[in-house]
Amino acid sequence: MRVVVDANTVLSALLSRSKSFEVFVINRRLKRFEFIAPEFMFTELLKHFDEILKRSGLEREELERVLEFVKEQIEFIPLEKFSAYREEAERLAPHPKDVQYFALALAFGSAIWSKEKAFGDQQKVKVYSTPEMLELLKQ
């Protein structure tokens, strides 16, 4: 199953090695999900690397390893591959910053993995929480 990963989910995995990180660990072994994300997300993560480093409490090398572990499980998709869905995504996304995630999900017929409760306020795109992702991995 192809699933769009939002930035907050990845940040959670990087900052606290939370349940989000556990999803990546289990999925690496089971390969149940194909994770995709808008290309800009990786650029944003790199741009804020020092802030993430400070907040995580990890050593630079450790955070780099965790980021690489997560990054190698996500295919980053350029905007031109899903920009045709922008208008519809603008109607679905709760915030302008989330439009690309919804456009990507629409373009690829994918669900979204997000901690953002407001993502579920629409009926067009299936949204999974981290506990739901863990449950899907256990099935």
CATH of the domain at 64: 3.40.50.1010
80 vs 42, more confident: 80
The pLDDT score that the predictor gives to residue 130 is 96
Separation between Cα atoms, residue 40 and residue 68, nearest integer Å? 16
The pLDDT score that the predictor gives to residue 69 is 94
- Whether 70 has a pLDDT exceeding 90, the answer reads yes
Instruction: Report the number of secondary-structure helices (H) and strands (E) in the chain.
Output: 8, 5
* C-alpha distance across the termini of the chain, in Å: 13
The pLDDT score that the predictor gives to residue 18 is 81
Q: Which residues contact 95 (CB under 8 A, 6 or more apart)?
A: 118
Number of domains composing the chain? 1
How large is the angle between the packed helices 130-138 and 19-30, nearest 10 degrees? Answer: 30
pTM of the model: 0.93
- Whether 42 has a pLDDT exceeding 80, the answer reads yes
Range of the domain at 87: 2-138
